[in-house]
Amino acid sequence: SLGTYAWAQRKSGVGVVVVTSDKKILLQKEYRYIIKEYSWEIQGGGVDEHESLEDAALRELREETGIEAPLIEKIGVFYPLNSFNTEQVTLFLAKTDIEANSSRAQTEVSEGISEYKYVTFDEALNMIDTGQIIDALTANAIQIVVRRLSGI
Per-residue model confidence as pLDDT tens digits over 5-28? 775 666 789 999 999 989 999 999
pTM for this prediction:
0.85
Torsion sign over Cα 38, 35, 43, 65 = negative
For the segment 30-61, what is each residue's pLDDT rounded down to a tens digit? Answer: 999 989 999 999 999 999 999 999 999 999 99
Sequence-distant (≥ 6) Cβ neighbours of residue 145 within 8 angstroms: 17, 19, 25, 75, 93
Q: How many other CB atoms sit within 10 Å of the CB of residue 94?
A: 23
Closest-CA residue to 144 (of 13, 49, 19, 60)? 19
User: Maximum Cα–Cα distance for the chain, whole Å?
Assistant: 60
- C-alpha torsion angle, residues 60, 151, 137, 16 (rounded to 10): 0
Q: Quick one: pLDDT at residue 71?
A: 82
